[in-house]
Structure 1
Amino acid sequence: PGALRRGLFLIPESRKEQGLVLGRPIRENVTLSNLAALTTAGWVRTGAERRESRGLLDRVTVAGEDRRAVSALSGGNQQKVLFARALQRPRRLLIADEPTRGVDVGSRRAIYDLIAEQAAAGIGVLVISSDVEEVLGLAHRVLVIRGGRVAAELSGSGMTEENVLKAAFADPVTSEKPV
């Protein structure tokens, strides 16, 4: 809760183990981080929860009945449920760890659009990904981590697949001098 109050939101690498409550409805998974705003005297106002959930699910393009268990959704739609949850609260920093791992091409595009939308709104976005193409397509700056340390900081013309891979597996590089 302290991180949420400070405007930090994490979309974890493992949505099934760390992000979602699989046996619960989609609606509850969306509103989980903001239950206090949807309760009165300890009771969830289900009408308000339904409206809030539906609006957020529409925004992230998850169709269908939100009473179903979140486990019934595809991997891509499960990931979009986590993004819907993030959109529910004010954010200063959104951390997305492997945001498109195990999702279909259509969901991947929708997730990229959601990430770009957050950045355009002035929200800091930190994407942690082992997909080099994904990183290069989303980022304006890349930090390559190797052995727990920053092996390279790349930006501008230095942000190439070759430089990322070289920094990850070989020699350090700098963004000023493309290799």
Structure 2
Amino acid sequence: MTKIGIILGSTRPGRNGEAVACWVHEIAAQRTDAEFELVDLADHKLPLLDEAYPPSMGQYAQPHTQAWAEKIASFDGFVIVTPEYNRSVPGALKNAIDFLYAEWANKAVGFVSYGATGGTRAVEHLRLIAGELQMADVRSQVALSLFNDFESFSTFKPIDAQHDALTATLDQVIAWTNALAPLRSH
């Protein structure tokens, strides 16, 4: 069975991302074409990148890196839930991505973002990062507005159209994940 990791990319106290990631997981878990697991970066306690060798060498010395690599390697594809901080990606998410290389390669990735402008600028940066890591980013995405999809900027109440956007994103992630399977088997 195809296994998709839903990565919660914010570690901030009081974050909106937890409600968003739970919503993504709840909807995804109703599907029968893949298994889904929520991966909260806050549970992994990754320090700032502390490996001596570049991740592309795959020579991970730190136990936290080895555990992170094992977790990410267990997935066939990903959905990344991310806020937009200062027109970009949260530092904790970028750091977690930068720890690894081969574990990301030849896997599909979709994005669910949130912020004042729907988190779209963070996703644009993530698309560039995904390309460098040989990930296939899907076109569909969910862009949640703090004005329309949250009450008082903190209580998550997505508008109905967001469910359709998430379904389209999941459809594409699963299709691309399955299409890339032969590349991952080498």
TM-score (norm: length of structure 2): 0.33
More helix by share: 1
Instruction: Give the structure with the larger strand fraction.
Output: 2
Report the TM-score, using the length of structure 1 for normalisation: 0.34
Higher relative CO (Cα under 8 Å, sequence separation at least 6) belongs to 2
